[in-house]
């Protein structure tokens, strides 16, 4: 093989290699239209903007030998790839949402239950108003209506007592208000029969007791006391305390007069105050006899020592009034006019004396004396007789 043939073979191999590396145009199977070759552009070349030159070499092979055709170089095709400018939009910095710490909400305090609500009965509201008035927090009429003035009074009371200021009459508020308005019990359920009889007699006198006078403290008496308190705008305790008793006594007794209900109950009269005594009775040792109150009071140097019921002479035989002295004393004597016993006699005006009378003890004021001062309490008179001396003063007044 000569040099020329070897050179041609070598050139053919180079063309074949180039053809394999560069995709050739081929005709469309249907239309025969040549399809441009696919150009592969390196990323690095595109970025640098260089041109790619494609050379197509046609090789014709004949049966007799290899014929090398001069390569045809078409017009170079310059493919310019524009570099894509990356977006200059600054990156968005997403700030993570800050979740606030959970807020711990304290539950709203539930007000304590009301002992006396705004919808309470009229009597309950009256009781509240009465007690608020007693402590100086309510200045209006006792109506039994729960209006805004009652709210203000309750709140003011709670503030003054350093209680929770809810404006509601809760148990603590009610207990404090009751304790401040309570007074000592005068007639307890365990009181003696005579004291209970007096209570029943006084309630009957004002129409608040319709049962028998028994001296027994039972449920009907509780109800009567409570009804009296409700009618008179008193604290509704149902108990005969000092305030209730004073109101009841004021309705059934006038000072300076005979206390018939106390006498009928079998009780001794109440010891009078020194200021209520006759001026003649305020000095020395005096038996002070008061026809208005039907009592005899033993007074020493202006101080009442004991008091007892007394009965006086009937019309035409009245007990003489004035200032006298004890002239004589007998532990036991019989009247030389009426021939009746006169135990513990202390004569002060002629034949008139202070002495014990069984008739008075038996009949009370249904009868009268013949002019003497009768005493029905033998025990009291015996004690008085032991203290009185001849010469002591006796004052009889009306």
Kindly tell me if the per-residue pLDDT of 312 is higher than 60: yes
Kindly tell me if the per-residue pLDDT of 81 is higher than 80: no
Give first-to-last CA distance, the chain, whole Å: 187
Inter-helix orientation angle 171-181/148-160, to 10°: 80
Domain contains 377: yes
DSSP 8-state assignment for residue 313 = B
Confidence of residue 103 (pLDDT cuts 50, 70, 90): low
Least confident residue range of 59-73, 96-110, 307-321: 59-73
- Active site residue ranges: 355, 372
- Same structural domain, 290 and 331: yes
Q: What is the structure's pLDDT at 337?
A: 86
- Same structural domain, 316 and 378: yes
- Same structural domain, 305 and 362: yes
- Same structural domain, 287 and 378: yes
Q: What is the structure's pLDDT at 33?
A: 47
Which tokens go with 235? 């604290």
Among 230, 220, 199, 219, smallest CA distance to 128 is for 230
DSSP 8-state assignment for residue 169 = B
Alpha-carbon distance of 45 to 52, in angstroms, equals 9
Q: What is the structure's pLDDT at 164?
A: 95
The pLDDT > 70 percentage for the chain reads 73
pTM check: above 0.85: no
Kindly tell me if the per-residue pLDDT of 31 is higher than 50: no
Which tokens go with 107? 């539950």
Residue 139 belongs to what domain range?
Answer: 122-181
- Same structural domain, 295 and 354: yes
β-bridge pairing 373-375 and 352-356:
parallel
The owner of tokens 């000569």 is 2
Which is more confidently placed, 277 or 69?
A: 277
- Same structural domain, 230 and 176: no
Q: What is the structure's pLDDT at 320?
A: 97
Q: In CATH, what number is assigned to the domain containing residue 212?
A: 1.10.101.10
What average pLDDT does the segment 82-108 reach?
57
Domain contains 200: yes
Domain contains 11: yes
Please list the helix, strand and coil fractions of the chain in percent, rounded to the nearest 5, in that order.
30, 15, 50
- Same structural domain, 312 and 387: yes
Q: What is the structure's pLDDT at 131?
A: 97
Among 258, 232, 53, smallest CA distance to 240 is for 232
- Same structural domain, 193 and 167: no
Radius of gyration of the chain (CA): 64
Domain contains 94: no
Q: What is the structure's pLDDT at 41?
A: 40
Domain contains 113: no
Residue at a domain's end among 181, 200, 216: 181
Secondary structure string (H, E, C) spanning 210-278: CCCCCCCCCHHHHHHHHHHHHHCCCCCCCCEEHHHHHHHHHHHCCCCCCCHHHHHCCCCCCCCCHHHCC
Q: What is the structure's pLDDT at 98?
A: 62
Q: What is the structure's pLDDT at 101?
A: 66
Domain contains 206: yes
Kindly tell me if the per-residue pLDDT of 386 is higher than 60: yes
Residue at a domain's end among 209, 237, 264: 264
Kindly tell me if the per-residue pLDDT of 239 is higher than 50: yes
pLDDT tens column, 157-176: 999 999 999 999 999 999 99
Domain contains 356: yes
- Same structural domain, 222 and 293: no
Tell me which H or E stretch contains 297: strand 295-300
- Same structural domain, 354 and 382: yes
- Same structural domain, 374 and 341: yes
Which tokens go with 175? 């207990």
pLDDT tens column, 338-348: 889 999 999 99
Residue at a domain's end among 264, 282, 299: 264
Among 54, 67, 56, 52, smallest CA distance to 16 is for 56
- Same structural domain, 131 and 231: no
Total domains present in the chain: 4
Domain contains 89: no
What average pLDDT does the segment 300-328 reach?
97
Other Cβ atoms closer than 10 A to 299: 25
């Amino acid at each position: 093989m000569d040099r020329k043939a070897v050179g041609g073979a070598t050139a053919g191999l180079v063309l074949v290699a180039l053809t394999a590396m560069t995709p050739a145009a081929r005709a469309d199977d249907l239309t025969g239209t040549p399809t441009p070759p696919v150009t592969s552009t390196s990323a690095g070349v595109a970025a640098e903007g260089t041109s790619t030159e494609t050379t197509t070499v046609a090789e014709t092979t004949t049966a007799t030998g290899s014929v090398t055709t001069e390569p045809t170089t078409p017009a170079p095709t310059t493919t310019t790839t524009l570099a894509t400018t990356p977006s200059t939009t600054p990156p968005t910095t997403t700030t993570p949402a800050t979740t606030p710490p959970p807020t711990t909400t304290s539950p709203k305090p539930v007000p304590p239950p009301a002992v006396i609500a705004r919808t309470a009965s009229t009597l309950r509201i009256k009781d509240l108003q009465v007690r608020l008035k007693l402590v100086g927090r309510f200045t209006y009429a006792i109506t039994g209506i729960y209006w805004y003035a009652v709210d203000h009074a309750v709140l003011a009371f709670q503030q003054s007592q350093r209680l929770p200021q809810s404006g509601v009459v809760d148990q603590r508020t009610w207990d404090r208000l009751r304790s401040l308005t309570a007074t000592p019990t005068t007639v307890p359920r365990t009181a003696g029969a005579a004291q209970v009889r007096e209570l029943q007699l006084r309630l009957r006198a004002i129409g608040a007791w319709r049962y028998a006078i028994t001296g027994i403290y039972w449920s009907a008496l509780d109800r009567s006391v409570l009804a009296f308190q409700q009618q008179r705008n008193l604290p509704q305790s149902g108990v005969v305390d000092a305030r209730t008793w004073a109101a009841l006594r004021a309705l059934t007794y006038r000072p300076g007069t005979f206390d018939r209900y106390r006498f009928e109950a079998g009780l001794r009269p109440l010891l009078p105050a020194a200021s209520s005594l006759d001026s003649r009775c305020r000095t020395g040792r005096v038996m002070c006899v008061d026809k208005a109150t039907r009592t005899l009071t033993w007074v020493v140097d202006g101080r009442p020592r004991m008091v007892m019921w007394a009965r006086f002479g009937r019309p035409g035989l009245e007990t003489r009034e004035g200032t006298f002295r004890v002239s004589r004393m007998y532990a036991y004597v019989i009247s030389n006019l009426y021939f009746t016993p006169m135990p513990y006699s202390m004569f002060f005006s002629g034949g008139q004396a202070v002495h014990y009378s069984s008739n008075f003890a038996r009949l009370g004021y249904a009868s009268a004396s013949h002019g003497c001062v009768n005493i029905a309490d033998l025990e009291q008179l015996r004690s008085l007789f032991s203290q009185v001396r001849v010469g002591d003063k006796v004052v009889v007044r009306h």
